[in-house]
Amino acid sequence: MTSRPGGLIDVHAHFLTPRYVAAARDAGHQHPDGMPGWPEWNAARHIELMDRWGVSVALLSISSPGVHFGDDAAARDLARHVNDAGAEFRRDYPRRFGQFASLPLPDVDGTLAELEYAMDQLGCDGVAVKTSTAGIYLGDDRYKPLLAELDRRRTPVFVHPTSPPHGEELTAGRPRPMLEFPFDTTRAAADLALRGRLLDYPGIPWIFTHGGGALPLLADRVEGMRRLLAGAAGGRVEPVPSQLSRQWYDMAGTPFPNQVPAVAAAFGTGRLLYGTDYCWTPEPAVAAQVASLDAAVQPEGGTWRALTTANALRLFPRSLW
């Protein structure tokens, strides 16, 4: 199958394997992140749906809860399994699937080894990480060697939200994707900006999902508090909203009527990407999301489809697309 010319490029698409689901269940994730259960996924059905939705290419990744369930060796093995599986799906459906490799964080040594394998041997399009792992956020000092290598390679990093520590208690039993996922994205991005990681490692293209969570509304507040606490020295650091405006954002979830206009007002549309969140978002919900994309007021001089596809091709300039 060949890609559909001009079709959407879905940067937020998930896959599963039986072995991965079994490992997650064995680790206690019967109801991952408070969801009722695990969805079903197979490559052929995904391709059928992509054709229905007008999606040319989907970049596959493993969603929360990720691959690390407490044991470094097991996490390295599971990351290798899902990355090899994703590469096989890419070979089976050339021009239709791309791939963000899973990394076994917080195991930094294992992560550096898997990054090298995924990028140099498998030819992945980037890597997928969770917003936090065991309460450790991406700006933590122990991750500096990883950030330095990602920066050197200029590797796109797809940041997927997860349940924060004590997430179940915070949400009173509600599924964490309802509220805590967007807030953990906000925490992760703000932490990277406030620690200076976005400035120290400018070669990393960060992709924040679901419109950046609450970032469009809270970036000014974060900057105001930063300046207040920093005093006179605060003016010598690039403002947080400016740092965030150079990152990438997908529109998975509920892009219209409010999410995408908020992102556009806060950070512009030059780095806005399309995402379905399939297979964790069911087929009817994705269909409704696609319909909202086409029914919304279109950007000046074009369409949301054309704009997000052009943006994705700048970030992932692969000729086969």
pLDDT given at position 161: 95
pLDDT at 318 over 90: no
How far apart, in whole angstroms, are the C-alpha atoms of residue 226 and residue 95? 45
**183: CB partners within 8 A, 6+ apart:** 164, 213, 214
pLDDT given at position 184: 95
Residue 159 burial (C-beta neighbours within 10 Å; 0-12, 13-18, 19+): buried
Q: Which secondary-structure segment (H or E) carries 263?
A: helix 260-267
CATH topology of domain 8-315: TIM Barrel (3.20.20)
For 45-66, what is each residue's pLDDT tens digit? 999 999 999 999 999 999 999 9
Averaged confidence pLDDT in the chain: 93
| CA pseudo-torsion sign 73, 76, 249, 155 | positive
How far apart, in whole angstroms, are the C-alpha atoms of residue 277 and residue 257? 18
What backbone torsions phi and psi does residue 280 show, to the nearest 5 degrees?
-75, -25
CA distances from 229 to 150, 187, 285, 316 (A): 31, 18, 43, 39
For 25-47, what is each residue's pLDDT tens digit? 999 999 988 889 999 999 999 99
CA distances from 24 to 66, 142, 243 (A): 9, 25, 35
Give mean pLDDT, residues 227-240: 74
How is the chain split into domains, by residue range? 8-315
Which of 67 and 301 is assigned the larger pLDDT? Answer: 67
pLDDT given at position 3: 44
pLDDT given at position 236: 55
Give mean pLDDT, residues 99-104: 98
Contact 183, 214 (CB under 8 A): yes
pLDDT at 2 over 50: no
Confidence of residue 321 (pLDDT cuts 50, 70, 90): low
Give mean pLDDT, residues 164-189: 83
Q: Which one, of 200, 115, 205, lies nearest residue 156 by Cα?
A: 205
